Amino acid sequence: MLYFVIKALHQLSDFLLIGGMLINAFVISMVPPPIRVGVIVALRRYDRTVTTAALAGAWIFGLWLAFGYIGFAGNGWLHAKLLLVVILSALHGMQQAAMRKMAADPKLEPNAFVRIGMPVILICLVLVVALAVIKPF
């Protein structure tokens, strides 16, 4: 029973994280400079409270599942999934830094990796779900 509760909390955290990161990516890459500051100020508040908490929850519940129920030995899919999750975590940190800098200077453009955040997030999401469901190796 506890396993299913932890798994549900992990998945809920994942949904909130991906949704928040996609909103961040959209605002960073699509919102024009004249209205950027107001949108980013509101989004940063949401990102700090919801998306960052979801990132922490995804890591906590995911590691709880990995250490408590799944194990790392012989689960290559889990190692690949963790690599993708590290990439998503790093991208989230880069998004936060970019939004902080863009709030101070609306004409500033983020680096290329942050600008292409949407496809990176979606590709990582598809691969993570495929690895977790199919467990190919």
Under a CB-based contact definition with an 8 Å cutoff, are residues 128 and 56 in contact? Answer: no
Number of alpha carbons in the 13 Å side-chain half-sphere of residue 63: 7
Instruction: Give the separation between CA 64 and CA 70, rounded to whole angstroms.
Output: 9
pTM of the model: 0.93
Q: What are the tens digits of pLDDT across the range 23-82?
A: 999 999 998 888 888 999 999 999 999 999 999 999 999 999 999 998 888 899 999 999
Instruction: Give the separation between CA 129 and CA 127, rounded to whole angstroms.
Output: 5
